[in-house]
């Protein structure tokens, strides 16, 4: 009895901690998730030959999950954003006002959106690495691996008609996995909340807690009547997923176990101090400033012009999202001292390597070798970034470049082309270009091009772009640039959809004969671009061999097996619903509420709330959707699972695998997750399903 009383009085055991890790499928059964709090068999989440939960999860750029047997899926408002924008006009502005299809017949196409479901995977490391023959140059080593990967993909797609295959590099230079996907191309809008809910708080609240954004949308995937993936057609029927999620409207509470499945984009946990220092000292500040400048330009162009504003909205949102993420990372890297702690780890690793002559011979050159590559890259970074942006950021420069490059690449055998020009991707590339063309706003484009030309023409030798020097040999002053730009935008024909479509199928000679100024610009950038690509392949060839060995020796040194960095393939992560202390003296609670939404509402952007929400809140008829402790509708929640970009839209699942939220963001402190996860500061944010 005494023992029993003691047991009852004893404080409940401290909740189990989350673990760092975005676990690939093959790791799930090794995780002992039952001991962490999972209440179902792990095989319910993943088992290759059963309709397990993973089959309910789709990659839609970021992530989504099926919630009905008829192809209906939930994702974030910000993930569907570009599709909603492309479906909108100033007269039918679904972005601002939201969209509701009352019947299936009213569901409309979300241009540019696709969905992929992971069907199977297989390790193909040995096959990929068999392409590496002794004596290859570093660049040829990279090319041999790329070619082998393409061959594996081609063979897999042949063996699995209608499916899409990808080979993904898991550990750099060391392991590769072939994934087979079902690939759906007819995606439609079903329910999109108004911007005032879906993007409540806008950029002010982005990457922040406390958060009150209703960042969700409902879409539906369609297929041909025979069930095969097909382009949009009115004859198509809803896709039948192998598995869909059960929505658990009772939600979760603080301390509950949770997990999520999704397609996290990129992390750099296995990288080196020299790479992180390059990011911190050079690349991220440069990119954040340039994105800030582009946003200013576009906002000016959109002011007082609703059509231009709508066209630019998705780009502005994307740029602002990355800019703030980088600023958060820069702040966090400094605060946590990430580079310094990596340097310490590397110094200890070097001692470990040096302590054994055999190890020294096998691994002694790695850190220094990698450092050298990043130092070389840093020296050229200015020039390389400007070159890349010149081809990509002004819309017309991008169209000109793609038309030019398509003519060169499409003349080669399929397997030798850059990926975007291979037959299997060509339709999407063309669609992407036509969507970009629709979003062209001349006033913004001109200023962006001019800014980049100014940067490019100010580069110092030997990193100048020779082709541009030749193009501007008459003078690189302000007047020469203005004249070039004025003439280019006046005479180009790339703004016409029919012309663009025709040019995309022409030979290089025909294209040159068209004498479009943006194709001339592309020709001027081509030699430097080809050199850069060659250099990048040389770097990759060297890094592959260093990183493959680094991973081996670090595992031996740290005595653990690593999980591969995120690479846009399907992963699981788990943790608990949990708040944290962002700074001394401040506690962040894990839930926000509807009352908080109303409190934050000022009536001015981005804090506007539709009057109906006020009415509903006042009526207070929340039924079972109220949080029992808070006696209010929970809106957003925090947890310590390990996520990154691409996990947007991931279903947050309770211990029984039922959906209780939709992941959409991280806190400002957690932006450095990509380099270093910590239970102290890594918190992700979901919309609570009850909202």
Residues that bind ligand ASP in the complex, under the rule CB under 6 A: 62, 321, 643-645, 647-648, 664-666
Minimum distance from residue 674 beta carbon to ligand ASP (Å):
8
Read off the DSSP letter of residue 160: S
Of 58 and 353, which CB lies nearer to ligand ASP in the complex structure? Answer: 58
Read off the DSSP letter of residue 449: H
Q: What 3 state SS string does 424-445 have?
A: HHHHHHHHHHHHHHHCCCHHHH
Of 516 and 665, which CB lies nearer to ligand ASP in the complex structure? Answer: 665
Of 467 and 646, which CB lies nearer to ligand ASP in the complex structure? Answer: 646
Read off the DSSP letter of residue 677: -
Minimum distance from residue 582 beta carbon to ligand ASP (Å):
16
Give me the residue label for tokens 């087979």. Answer: 180
Each residue of 483-513: b (16+ CB within 10 Å) or e?
ebbeebbeebbbbeeeebeebbebebeebee
Copy the structure tokens of residue 36.
Answer: 């962490």
- Cβ atoms of 435 and 112 within 8 Å: the answer is yes
Give me the residue label for tokens 């329910």. Answer: 191
For 470, other C-beta atoms within 10 Å of its C-beta total 11
Question: What would you report as the CA-atom Rg of the chain, rounded to the nearest whole angstrom?
Answer: 26
Copy the structure tokens of residue 429.
Answer: 């590339």
Of 44 and 203, which CB lies nearer to ligand ASP in the complex structure? Answer: 203
- Strands in 83-233 per DSSP E: 99-100, 108-109, 115-123, 164-169, 176-184, 186-192, 217-223
Of 266 and 412, which CB lies nearer to ligand ASP in the complex structure? Answer: 266
Minimum distance from residue 663 beta carbon to ligand ASP (Å):
7
- Cβ atoms of 29 and 52 within 8 Å: the answer is no
Beta-strand pair 164-169/634-639: unpaired
Instruction: Tell me how far apart the alpha carbons of residues 516 and 388 are, in angstroms, rounded to a whole number.
Output: 20
Residues 6+ apart with CB under 8 A from 503: 403, 494, 511, 514, 516
Displacement of CA 265 from its chain's centroid (Å):
5
Of 271 and 407, which CB lies nearer to ligand ASP in the complex structure? Answer: 271
Residues with active-site annotation: 78, 215, 648
Minimum distance from residue 29 beta carbon to ligand ASP (Å):
26
Minimal CB distance residue for ligand ASP: 645
Of 213 and 529, which CB lies nearer to ligand ASP in the complex structure? Answer: 213
């Amino acid at each position: 009895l005494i023992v029993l009383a003691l047991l009852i009085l004893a404080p409940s055991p401290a909740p189990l901690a989350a673990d760092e890790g975005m676990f690939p499928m093959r790791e799930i059964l090794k995780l002992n998730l039952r001991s962490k709090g999972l209440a179902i068999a792990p095989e319910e989440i993943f088992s290759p030959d059963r309709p397990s939960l993973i089959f309910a999860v789709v990659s839609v750029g970021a992530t989504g999950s099926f919630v009905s047997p008829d192809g209906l899926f939930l994702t974030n408002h910000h993930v569907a954003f570009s599709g909603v924008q492309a479906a909108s006009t100033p007269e039918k502005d679904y972005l601002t006002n939201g969209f509701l299809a009352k019947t299936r017949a009213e569901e409309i196409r979300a241009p540019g959106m696709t969905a992929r479901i992971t069907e199977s995977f297989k390790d193909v490391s040995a096959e990929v690495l068999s392409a590496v023959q002794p004596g290859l140059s570093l660049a040829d080593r990279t090319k041999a691996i790329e070619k082998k990967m393409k061959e594996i993909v081609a063979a897999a797609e042949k063996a699995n008609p209608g499916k899409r295959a990808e080979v993904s590099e898991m550990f750099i230079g060391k392991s590769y996995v072939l994934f087979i996907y079902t690939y759906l191309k007819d995606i439609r809008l079903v329910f999109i909340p108004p911007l005032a809910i879906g993007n409540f708080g806008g950029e002010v609240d982005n990457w922040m807690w406390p958060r009150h954004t209703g960042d969700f949308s409902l879409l539906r995937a369609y297929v041909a009547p025979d069930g095969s993936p097909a382009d949009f057609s009115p004859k198509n029927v809803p896709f039948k997923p192998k598995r869909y999620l059960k929505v658990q409207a009772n939600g979760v509470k603080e301390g509950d176990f949770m997990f999520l499945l999704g397609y996290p984009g990129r992390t750099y946990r296995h990288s080196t101090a020299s790479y992180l220092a390059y990011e911190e000292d050079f690349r991220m500040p440069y990119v954040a400033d340039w994105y800030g400048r582009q946003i200013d330009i576009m906002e000016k162009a959109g002011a007082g012009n609703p059509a231009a504003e709508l066209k630019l909205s998705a780009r502005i949102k994307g740029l602002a999202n990355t800019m703030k993420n980088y600023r958060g990372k820069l702040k966090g890297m400094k605060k946590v001292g990430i580079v310094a702690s990596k340097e310490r780890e590397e110094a200890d690793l070097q001692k470990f390597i040096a302590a054994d002559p055999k190890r020294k011979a096998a691994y002694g050159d790695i850190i220094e070798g990698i450092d050298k590559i990043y130092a070389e890259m840093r020296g050229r970074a200015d020039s390389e970034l400007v070159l890349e942006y010149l081809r990509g950021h002004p819309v017309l420069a991008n169209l000109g470049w793609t038309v030019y490059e398509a003519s060169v690449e499409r003349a080669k055998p399929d397997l030798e082309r850059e990926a975007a020009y291979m037959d299997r991707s060509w339709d999407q590339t063309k669609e992407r270009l036509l969507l970009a063309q629709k979003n062209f706003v001349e006033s913004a484009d001109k200023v962006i091009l001019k800014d980049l030309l100014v940067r490019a023409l100010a580069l110092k030798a030997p990193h100048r772009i020779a082709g541009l020097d030749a193009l501007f040999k008459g003078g690189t002053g302000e007047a020469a640039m203005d004249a070039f730009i004025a003439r280019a935008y006046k005479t180009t024909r790339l703004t016409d959809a029919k012309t663009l479509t025709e040019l995309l199928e022409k030979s290089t000679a025909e294209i040159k004969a068209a004498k479009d100024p943006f194709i001339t610009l592309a020709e001027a950038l081509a030699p430097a671009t080809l050199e850069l690509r060659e250099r990048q392949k040389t770097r990759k060839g060297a890094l592959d061999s260093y990183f493959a060995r680094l991973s081996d020796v670090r595992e031996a040194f740290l005595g653990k097996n690593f999980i591969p960095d995120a690479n846009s393939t399907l992963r699981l992560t788990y943790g608990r619903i949990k708040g944290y202390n962002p700074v001394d003296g401040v506690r962040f609670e894990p839930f926000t509420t509807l009352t908080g939404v109303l409190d934050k509402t000022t009536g001015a952007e981005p804090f506007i709330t539709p009057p109906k929400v006020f009415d509903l809140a006042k009526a207070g008829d929340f039924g079972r959707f109220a949080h029992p402790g808070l006696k209010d509708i929970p809106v957003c929640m925090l947890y310590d699972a390990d996520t990154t970009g691409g996990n947007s839209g991931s279903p947050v699942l309770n211990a029984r695998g039922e959906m209780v939220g939709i992941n959409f963001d991280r806190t400002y402190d957690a932006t450095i997750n990509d380099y270093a996860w910590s239970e102290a500061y890594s918190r992700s944010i979901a919309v609570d399903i009850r909202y």
